[in-house]
């Protein structure tokens, strides 16, 4: 029998795919500001999953947010 990884460890490395509305809500940011930051290379770009389907990895969004918090604390 193979060893199984406990469910909590399996989900630690998992991430969700977020819609633009979910990202905007999570960051309390407008659509225009989000895309302005992306176009300036200051925010992660989404995965293109289809002609009109874009999703952001939740771990990348959270890492970006954490980096902003660290910048604030360092200032």
Question: For residues 34 and 20, is the Cβ–Cβ distance under 8 A?
Answer: yes
pLDDT, tens only, 25-72: 999 999 999 999 999 999 999 999 999 999 999 999 999 999 998 988
pLDDT band at 74 (very low <50, low <70, confident <90, very high): confident
74 exposed, middle or buried (CB, 10 Å; 0-12, 13-18, 19+)? exposed
Q: Which domain holds residue 67?
A: 16-74
8 assigned to some structural domain: no
User: Which of 50, 46, 48 minimizes the C-alpha distance to 24?
Assistant: 46
61 assigned to some structural domain: yes
- Tell me phi and psi for residue 50, to 5 degrees: -175, 180
Domains contained in the chain, number = 1
């Amino acid at each position: 029998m193979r060893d199984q990884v406990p469910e909590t460890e399996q989900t630690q490395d998992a991430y969700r795919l977020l819609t633009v509305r979910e990202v905007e809500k999570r960051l309390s940011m407008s659509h225009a500001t989000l895309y302005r930051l992306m176009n300036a290379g200051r925010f992660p770009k989404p995965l293109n999953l289809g002609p009109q389907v874009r999703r952001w990895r939740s771990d990348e969004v959270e890492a970006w947010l954490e980096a902003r918090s660290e910048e604030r604390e360092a200032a």
